[in-house]
Amino acid sequence: MNRVYIFDTTLRDGEQSPGVSLNIQEKLEIAGQLAKLGVDVIEAGFPIASPGDFEAVAAIAQKIKGPTIAALARINEKDIDRAWEALRYAEKPRIHTFIATSDIHMKYKLKKTREQVLAAIDKGIRYAKQFTSDIEFSPEDGSRTDIDFMLKVVETAINAGATVINIPDTVGYATPKEFGEFIRAIKTGVPNMDKAILSVHCHNDLGMAVANSLAAVENGAEQIECAVNGIGERAGNTALEEVVMALLTRKDYYGREVSINTEEIYRTSRLVSSLTGMPVQYNKAIVGKNAFAHESGIHQDGVLKERTTYEIMDPAKLGIIQNNIVLGKHSGRHAFRQRLEELGFELTEEELVKAFIRFKNLADRKKEITDKDLEAIVEDETRALPEKYVFDSLHLFSGSRVVPTATIGLKIGDEVVEEAACGDGPVDAVFKAIDKISQLGVSLSYYNLNAITGGKDAMGEVTVKVDFEGKTYLGRGLSTDIIEASAKAYINAINKVEYELSR
């Protein structure tokens, strides 16, 4: 009775964030990490939306064990068939079907009456039930649905076979008090509510997604739908890390249990940020860079004397490693392996050899290598896709009174191909030279440079997004030279385009 189930929609609603486009390998990597995190349900995607979404859901359903794997479907037979086709090999499959129930959606979007919507709910859930016993139903725009009609909707869905009823605040309109009362009315007013789990899915348009979700829990909700780092449509979803740590840190108030392995929270946040190209804001609760930073002298003094004076959570329990043991060019493979194990990385022997070579190359250019550096190079190395183009060399001619010119050398198989180009700046020149080799005609839509650590020899992490034939591809590059990091990021994005074209 005290359990709150954590339903993660990072791979479905989270991927609907503007500019985010994950390939199958990236989705599998995130799904694997979500399984390590211990979420109860992974919503893997919306199979009818595209062939790529279907393939990703099918791959996750077949390969990820532990959590329930859910797929989204509108409440019609074609969507439900496609969802089941993707889910059929899952260890624990769930079909998540939905239809809008607010007057504004029914009138303008669906052009259906209340009676027609109720009939569609009954028919659709009964149809889905033939495939699996685990059926979740969501009345879209639930928080703006008339409460009397909502009670009929929920009762109809449960009678048809729904095992989870999820109430969405689709446009983030609700406030905690009214949403809590809305959930309480459903919990107490639906005669067969005891036959299904009551869930909520809140959006953050007014910055109240976490507060609304917690208010729902106080009023009887047993499942929270959320996304890592709060990513998702528009302003995003309920942030998984925030709602989980609120329930755990204030267990004295909420009195509820979750099955999350909190030591995987930080690593999950970093992985999602890296693969989606969506940086975590510095002052983000729980996982932000400044979440456990103390600049005020009074705060520093208090924390040094007793951590709990200004820290209500132990960062180590979130997987935030504050051990800054420094490795250098004289460090051996044993020390390297041991530190990676302490950081939670499980590498194959082949991956370890590649990562160690990257580490040694970096150590020749950077005096001290911290945990942040290690995390970056290992994640970069173990995430590599098959590469058509491999960075070989870079030469630049640039200055305040000359036109920047770049010559880039890329390996294609055993051959090194070189091209030169001028640009508005050195990075632009490098990208234009790479374009001459690839001949793909991609367009750059996003560029971001971030220092992994501090200091003048900090390793730069560049993230780029390129658009090609209506789809966005993300690339990431690392180097102590920011121009080289930029080149590697752009090459990484182009290799993803080539990979998709070759499939």
Contact 101, 75 (CB under 8 A): no
Contact 139, 101 (CB under 8 A): yes
Report the sign of the C-alpha dihedral through residues 470, 461, 31, 347, in that order: positive
Neighbour order of strands in the sheet with 390-397: 390-397, 405-412, 415-422
423, with CB counted inside 10 A (0-12, 13-18, 19+), is middle
Neighbour order of strands in the sheet with 443-451: 443-451, 460-468, 471-479
Query: Letter for the amino acid at 154?
Result: V
Any idea how long the chain is? 503
Q: What is the pLDDT of residues 365-391, one digit of tens each?
A: 777 777 778 887 777 776 667 889 999
Pairing verdict, β 68-74 and 93-100: parallel
**Global pTM?**
0.87
Mean pLDDT in consecutive groups of 10 residues from the start of the chain, 503 residues? 93 90 92 98 97 96 98 98 98 98 97 98 98 98 98 98 98 98 98 98 98 98 98 96 97 96 94 91 91 64 68 86 65 82 80 87 78 78 81 94 95 96 96 97 94 79 93 91 95 93 84
Q: What is the pLDDT of residue 355?
A: 86
Q: What is the pLDDT of residue 293?
A: 73
Domains 5-276 and 390-502 share a fold: no
Domain layout of the chain by residue ranges: 5-276, 333-382, 390-502
Q: What is the pLDDT of residue 456?
A: 76
5-276 carries CATH number 3.20.20.70: yes
CA distances from 305 to 297, 300, 302 (A): 12, 9, 5
Q: What is the pLDDT of residue 295?
A: 54
| CATH for the stretch 390-502 | 3.30.160.270
441, with CB counted inside 10 A (0-12, 13-18, 19+), is exposed
DSSP H helices in 190-348: 209-218, 240-249, 251-254, 265-276, 297-305, 333-342
Q: What is the pLDDT of residue 450?
A: 87
Distance, in Å, from the CA atom of 436 to the CA atom of 491, rounded to the nearest integer, reads 12
Contact 331, 368 (CB under 8 A): no
115, with CB counted inside 10 A (0-12, 13-18, 19+), is exposed
Q: What is the pLDDT of residue 135?
A: 98
Q: What is the pLDDT of residue 300?
A: 53
Q: What is the pLDDT of residues 458-501, one digit of tens each?
A: 888 899 999 999 889 999 999 989 999 999 999 999 999 998 89
